Amino acid sequence: MPATPQEQQERFDDLYGRYAPAVEAYARRRAPALADDVVAETFLVCWRKLDRVPADALPWLYAVARKTLANHRRRERRAARPLPATRATAELELPGDPTLARAWTSLRPDEREVLALVAWEGLAPADAARVLGCTAVACRVRLHRAKRRLARRLAELEPSPAFDPSPRGASQ
Protein backbone atom coordinates (compact mmCIF):
# COMPACT_ATOMS: atom_id res chain seq x y z
CA MET A 1 0.00 0.00 0.00
CA PRO A 2 1.51 3.37 -0.93
CA ALA A 3 2.67 5.46 1.99
CA THR A 4 0.92 8.71 2.70
CA PRO A 5 2.93 11.90 2.34
CA GLN A 6 3.06 12.10 6.12
CA GLU A 7 4.41 8.56 6.36
CA GLN A 8 6.97 9.30 3.66
CA GLN A 9 8.10 12.39 5.48
CA GLU A 10 8.38 10.49 8.72
CA ARG A 11 10.40 7.74 7.10
CA PHE A 12 12.74 10.23 5.51
CA ASP A 13 13.18 12.06 8.79
CA ASP A 14 13.90 8.80 10.52
CA LEU A 15 16.45 7.73 7.91
CA TYR A 16 18.13 11.10 7.97
CA GLY A 17 18.24 11.30 11.74
CA ARG A 18 19.57 7.82 12.12
CA TYR A 19 22.01 7.50 9.25
CA ALA A 20 23.20 10.96 8.24
CA PRO A 21 26.12 10.87 10.71
CA ALA A 22 27.22 7.49 9.36
CA VAL A 23 27.02 8.72 5.77
CA GLU A 24 28.91 11.84 6.72
CA ALA A 25 31.63 9.76 8.38
CA TYR A 26 31.81 7.61 5.26
CA ALA A 27 32.29 10.69 3.10
CA ARG A 28 34.82 12.32 5.43
CA ARG A 29 36.96 9.20 5.44
CA ARG A 30 37.26 9.42 1.68
CA ALA A 31 36.94 13.07 0.73
CA PRO A 32 36.70 15.49 3.66
CA ALA A 33 36.23 18.53 1.47
CA LEU A 34 33.26 16.98 -0.30
CA ALA A 35 31.60 15.44 2.71
CA ASP A 36 28.81 17.97 3.10
CA ASP A 37 27.92 17.82 -0.58
CA VAL A 38 27.98 14.05 -0.59
CA VAL A 39 25.67 13.84 2.41
CA ALA A 40 23.26 16.34 0.89
CA GLU A 41 23.18 14.62 -2.47
CA THR A 42 22.89 11.18 -0.95
CA PHE A 43 19.81 12.16 0.98
CA LEU A 44 18.42 13.99 -1.99
CA VAL A 45 18.54 10.70 -3.87
CA CYS A 46 17.08 9.02 -0.81
CA TRP A 47 14.18 11.44 -0.82
CA ARG A 48 13.53 10.96 -4.51
CA LYS A 49 13.74 7.19 -4.31
CA LEU A 50 12.21 6.76 -0.91
CA ASP A 51 9.94 3.97 -2.10
CA ARG A 52 12.97 1.97 -3.18
CA VAL A 53 15.05 2.37 -0.05
CA PRO A 54 15.29 -1.08 1.58
CA ALA A 55 14.43 -1.66 5.21
CA ASP A 56 18.12 -2.08 5.99
CA ALA A 57 18.97 1.27 4.49
CA LEU A 58 22.57 1.91 5.48
CA PRO A 59 24.34 -0.19 2.79
CA TRP A 60 22.00 1.37 0.24
CA LEU A 61 22.90 4.85 1.44
CA TYR A 62 26.60 4.01 1.36
CA ALA A 63 26.19 2.83 -2.22
CA VAL A 64 24.54 6.11 -3.17
CA ALA A 65 27.24 8.07 -1.38
CA ARG A 66 29.89 6.07 -3.19
CA LYS A 67 28.36 6.86 -6.57
CA THR A 68 27.95 10.50 -5.63
CA LEU A 69 31.59 10.69 -4.67
CA ALA A 70 32.62 9.04 -7.91
CA ASN A 71 30.56 11.56 -9.85
CA HIS A 72 32.21 14.43 -8.01
CA ARG A 73 35.64 13.06 -8.75
CA ARG A 74 34.78 12.51 -12.39
CA ARG A 75 33.55 16.06 -12.73
CA GLU A 76 36.67 17.44 -11.10
CA ARG A 77 38.92 15.35 -13.30
CA ARG A 78 37.04 16.61 -16.32
CA ALA A 79 37.49 20.16 -15.18
CA ALA A 80 41.22 19.46 -14.81
CA ARG A 81 41.37 21.27 -11.54
CA PRO A 82 43.37 20.34 -8.48
CA LEU A 83 41.60 17.65 -6.52
CA PRO A 84 41.92 18.60 -2.89
CA ALA A 85 39.32 16.12 -1.81
CA THR A 86 40.71 13.23 -3.76
CA ARG A 87 44.33 13.46 -2.72
CA ALA A 88 44.47 10.08 -1.08
CA THR A 89 47.62 10.99 0.77
CA ALA A 90 48.75 8.99 3.70
CA GLU A 91 48.69 12.05 5.93
CA LEU A 92 45.14 12.82 5.01
CA GLU A 93 43.64 9.42 5.47
CA LEU A 94 45.63 7.64 8.16
CA PRO A 95 47.39 10.21 10.29
CA GLY A 96 48.17 7.89 13.19
CA ASP A 97 49.98 5.11 11.38
CA PRO A 98 52.36 6.34 8.68
CA THR A 99 53.54 2.88 7.69
CA LEU A 100 50.05 1.61 7.31
CA ALA A 101 49.27 4.77 5.37
CA ARG A 102 52.06 4.07 2.91
CA ALA A 103 50.85 0.53 2.44
CA TRP A 104 47.30 1.78 2.14
CA THR A 105 48.05 4.17 -0.67
CA SER A 106 49.79 1.42 -2.61
CA LEU A 107 46.53 -0.54 -2.85
CA ARG A 108 44.15 -0.20 -5.73
CA PRO A 109 41.03 1.93 -5.08
CA ASP A 110 38.73 -1.09 -5.18
CA GLU A 111 40.89 -2.84 -2.62
CA ARG A 112 40.89 0.19 -0.35
CA GLU A 113 37.15 0.51 -0.66
CA VAL A 114 36.30 -3.04 0.36
CA LEU A 115 38.73 -2.86 3.28
CA ALA A 116 37.35 0.48 4.40
CA LEU A 117 33.77 -0.74 4.23
CA VAL A 118 34.59 -3.64 6.52
CA ALA A 119 37.14 -1.99 8.83
CA TRP A 120 35.78 1.54 9.09
CA GLU A 121 32.11 1.30 8.24
CA GLY A 122 31.89 -1.99 10.11
CA LEU A 123 29.94 -3.76 7.42
CA ALA A 124 29.77 -7.50 7.04
CA PRO A 125 31.05 -8.71 3.67
CA ALA A 126 27.48 -9.36 2.50
CA ASP A 127 26.55 -5.75 3.23
CA ALA A 128 29.73 -4.45 1.67
CA ALA A 129 28.75 -6.39 -1.42
CA ARG A 130 25.52 -4.41 -1.59
CA VAL A 131 27.50 -1.19 -1.50
CA LEU A 132 29.90 -2.36 -4.17
CA GLY A 133 27.23 -3.88 -6.38
CA CYS A 134 28.76 -7.32 -6.47
CA THR A 135 27.87 -10.72 -5.06
CA ALA A 136 28.72 -11.61 -1.50
CA VAL A 137 31.10 -14.29 -2.74
CA ALA A 138 32.89 -11.83 -5.01
CA CYS A 139 33.13 -9.39 -2.14
CA ARG A 140 34.65 -11.98 0.17
CA VAL A 141 37.22 -12.85 -2.46
CA ARG A 142 38.03 -9.19 -3.03
CA LEU A 143 38.31 -8.61 0.70
CA HIS A 144 40.57 -11.59 1.17
CA ARG A 145 42.88 -10.46 -1.63
CA ALA A 146 42.94 -6.89 -0.38
CA LYS A 147 43.85 -7.99 3.13
CA ARG A 148 46.57 -10.21 1.79
CA ARG A 149 48.02 -7.46 -0.38
CA LEU A 150 47.94 -4.98 2.47
CA ALA A 151 49.65 -7.47 4.78
CA ARG A 152 52.33 -8.15 2.19
CA ARG A 153 52.92 -4.49 1.63
CA LEU A 154 53.19 -3.89 5.36
CA ALA A 155 55.66 -6.70 5.66
CA GLU A 156 57.78 -5.06 2.99
CA LEU A 157 57.67 -1.73 4.75
CA GLU A 158 58.34 -2.94 8.27
CA PRO A 159 60.07 -6.29 7.98
CA SER A 160 59.66 -8.59 10.93
CA PRO A 161 62.24 -11.30 11.67
CA ALA A 162 60.26 -13.71 9.56
CA PHE A 163 60.58 -11.40 6.61
CA ASP A 164 64.01 -10.08 7.41
CA PRO A 165 66.15 -10.45 4.32
CA SER A 166 69.21 -11.11 6.46
CA PRO A 167 71.29 -14.23 5.80
CA ARG A 168 69.45 -16.06 8.58
CA GLY A 169 66.04 -14.98 7.39
CA ALA A 170 66.97 -15.77 3.82
CA SER A 171 68.51 -19.11 4.56
CA GLN A 172 65.71 -20.99 2.98
Partner 1 sequence: MTTDVLARLQRANPVPYDAPARPTPARRNARRPLLVLAAVAAIAVPAAAFGSQIGGLVGLGDRGTTLPTSSVPEAPNMSGLDWPTTSQLLGTRDGVSFYASKRADGGFCLAVDVNDAGAGSMLACLPPDLAANRPILGVPVFASDARLAGVAADGVARVALLAANGSEIASAPVVDNLYVDNDLPQVLPASIAAYDASGNVLYQRAFGATPWGTP
Task: Write out the residues near partner 1 by the rule CB under 8 A.
Answer: 5, 8-14, 17-19, 21-22, 25, 28-29, 37, 40-41, 43-44, 47-48, 55-58, 92-97, 100-101, 104, 115-116, 118-122, 144, 147-148, 150-151, 154
Q: How far is the CB of 37 from partner 1 (least distance, A)?
A: 7
Q: How far is the CB of 109 from partner 1 (least distance, A)?
A: 15
Tell me whether residue 13 or residue 156 sits nearer to partner 1 (CB atom).
Answer: 13
Return d(Cα 128, Cα 51) in angstroms, integer.
22
Taking Cα atoms as reference points, which of 108, 103, 112 lies closest to residue 151?
A: 103
Q: How far is the CB of 78 from partner 1 (least distance, A)?
A: 18
Return d(Cα 81, Cα 78) in angstroms, integer.
8
Q: How far is the CB of 159 from partner 1 (least distance, A)?
A: 14
Cβ within 8 Å of residue 128, ≥6 positions away: 59, 114, 117, 118, 121, 139, 143
Q: Which residues of 39-50 are buried (b: 16+ CB within 10 A; e: fewer)?
A: bebbbebbeeee
Tell me whether residue 19 or residue 85 sits nearer to partner 1 (CB atom).
Answer: 19
Q: How far is the CB of 166 from partner 1 (least distance, A)?
A: 20
Tell me whether residue 18 or residue 167 sits nearer to partner 1 (CB atom).
Answer: 18
DSSP string, 37-69: HHHHHHHHHHHHTGGG--SSHHHHHHHHHHHHH
Angle subtended at Cα 37 by Cα 124 and Cα 8, rounded to the nearest 5 degrees = 70
Tell me whether residue 89 or residue 167 sits nearer to partner 1 (CB atom).
Answer: 89
Tell me whether residue 162 or residue 167 sits nearer to partner 1 (CB atom).
Answer: 162
